[in-house]
Amino acid sequence: MKKQRNTAQKRIIMQALECADHPTATELYELVHAENPRISKATVFRVLSQYSENGEVRRLHIAGSDDRFDATLAPHAHLRCAYCGRIRDVMFPELAPILSAESVEGYKVYSAEIDFLCCCPECSAAGADRGGILN
């Protein structure tokens, strides 16, 4: 396997991802580009793709939305607001063995994700969840 160089641009992109809250590739590009206008959108997309293929970041596939990226690799779950789309990491120590299981009933496990669809405090305070799930 060809060793990937850790360029200054890659470090900048990873640092931005670590500080962002599950951004899409476009959102991450906008963050990076605001501080470093010489980094192109294609570079951000390519680096994110490489990082996700190499297991250095987690790509989150969410129906009806662009993929999002997560720099947290430790076993964890996600709280995802059904109204605004905000995603937050949540650590449940009791879930760690489940999320890091190597096999289940004879199946080899490659990855595991737990995604709680919920209403975040901000949307709840604004009354978004009155009347049930997605009204």
Domain finish residue from 45, 68, 91: 68
Per-residue pLDDT tens digits of the chain, which is 135 residues long: 455 566 899 999 999 999 999 999 999 999 999 999 999 999 999 999 999 999 999 999 988 889 999 999 988 899 999 998 899 999 888 887 887 788 888 888 887 888 999 999 999 999 888 766 665
- Does 119 belong to an annotated binding site? no
- Does 19 belong to an annotated binding site? no
Residues 32, 62: one domain? Answer: yes
- Does 118 belong to an annotated binding site? no
**0.75 exceeded by pTM:** yes
Q: Give me the domain span that covers residue 86.
A: 74-125
Domain of residue 59, CATH code? 1.10.10.10
Q: What phi and psi, each to the nearest 5 degrees, are found at residue 106?
A: 90, -10
- Does 123 belong to an annotated binding site? yes
- Based on the structure, what is the number of domains in the chain? 2
